[in-house]
Amino acid sequence: MRVWCWPGNTADSTLIRQVRDDMRDWTLSRIVWVADRGSSSAANRRYLRQGDHHYIIGEKLRCDSPEIKTALSRQGRYTTIAANMRVKEVKVSDTERFVICHNPEAAQRDAAVRDQLVAQLGELIKDSDGLSAHKRGELAGRISVKPGLHRFLRTTPSGKLRIDTAKVKTETNLDGKYLLRSSDPTLSAADIAVGHKQLLEVERGWRDMKSVIDLRSVHHRLEDRIRAHVVLCWLALLLIRVAEITTGHTWPTIRCELHRLHAVTFTGPSGTFRQTTNPTKPQVDLYARLDLPLPKKIIEIATSSS
């Protein structure tokens, strides 16, 4: 639909306001903005609600917000909406809705990672009681620069290092969960969860831009050339998504199959001619679904002048 390009140090709040202002000319009657946790400030939420628009925003689970703590502490039954997704709406505010999403597969991964971190932390501090206070301080300092480990470390009043079992239990309650905040009163909890899940496609787009399309490195100096480079990469991503949606296959599958279609050159006493290899059934199906004509069998014929 449209692509924007900003300097790398542009704040999220700045780009949200510009995108929203630029879309006024589209005369859209209703917009539901979907954003990640970096855009969840109260100021951003108020701005996105202007003009009877709404939002779906991810929230940080580990924060001191009373609303977040209340939402996570509420009891209730989950509703399964997919094989790897359960949702539960909790009533916290009269103006906003909170939906807790739970992914059982992600919960298993979170538990496994935490068990590994706790075991690693235990190995680091198991002999620390015999160290001097200064050496224990140095050890705690080394652990503090590793957020995954430091999260589960506590220091006793006497300066000894211990695993924070209360923190471990708190983290267990967050396994596989993420919290969504929405201002839209018409969407179901399932629609809110599915709407936010589309951000995964946005993140996949960024990965494809950087890897498959090689957005970086940008070997340009002037701003207009940098912007042109970004726009061309975005158009390439758009074509990839159109091909994927139309054919029902991923781009690596499409590219791998079409790479097998070659142009072969034959040279003899009478001249030279080039022709394409016979297309396979999957190649014919891909061209048909994309509504594209197959390459000509004979591409070029050049007779010998002697």
273 lies in a domain?
yes
57 lies in a domain?
yes
146 lies in a domain?
yes
- Please state, in angstroms and rounded to a whole number, the distance separating the CA atoms of residues 149 and 163: 10
Q: Are residues 63 and 142 in the same domain?
A: no
Q: How many CB atoms lie within 10 A of CB 70?
A: 14
Quote the number of domains for the chain.
4
253 lies in a domain?
no
Q: Are residues 27 and 139 in the same domain?
A: no
What pLDDT is stored for residue 215 in this prediction? 78
Q: Are residues 74 and 16 in the same domain?
A: yes
7 lies in a domain?
no
- Amino acid code (one letter) for 167: K
Q: Which two tokens stand for residue 50?
A: 């202007």
What pLDDT is stored for residue 306 in this prediction? 57
Q: Are residues 24 and 94 in the same domain?
A: yes
Cis peptide before 217 (omega within 30 of 0): yes
Residues 244, 250: contact at Cβ < 8 Å? yes
Q: Are residues 85 and 34 in the same domain?
A: yes
Q: Are residues 98 and 21 in the same domain?
A: yes
Q: Which two tokens stand for residue 296?
A: 């000509």
Range of the domain at 218: 208-248
Residues 283, 259: contact at Cβ < 8 Å? no
254 lies in a domain?
no
Residue whose structure tokens are 């009478």: 270
Residues in the chain with pLDDT < 50?
Answer: none
Comparing CA positions, the residue from 278, 272, 239, 240 lying closest to residue 260 is 278
Comparing CA positions, the residue from 271, 266, 265 lying closest to residue 303 is 271
What pLDDT is stored for residue 28 in this prediction? 76
What pLDDT is stored for residue 269 in this prediction? 86
Residue whose structure tokens are 């620390």: 128
The domain that holds 42 is classified in CATH as 3.90.350.10
Residue 69 region by backbone torsions, left for phi larger than 0, else alpha for psi between -120 and 50, else beta: alpha
Q: Are residues 143 and 84 in the same domain?
A: no
* 107 phi and psi angles, rounded to 5 deg: -65, -40
- Please state, in angstroms and rounded to a whole number, the distance separating the CA atoms of residues 157 and 146: 22
What pLDDT is stored for residue 163 in this prediction? 95
DSSP string, 228-250: HHHHHHHHHHHHHHHHHHHHSS-
202 lies in a domain?
no
Q: Which two tokens stand for residue 37?
A: 């946790």
Which residues are bridge partners to 58 per DSSP?
A: 180
What pLDDT is stored for residue 208 in this prediction? 87
Asked which of 172, 189, 218 is the last residue of a domain, the reply is 172
Beta strand residue intervals within 172-255, DSSP E: 177-182
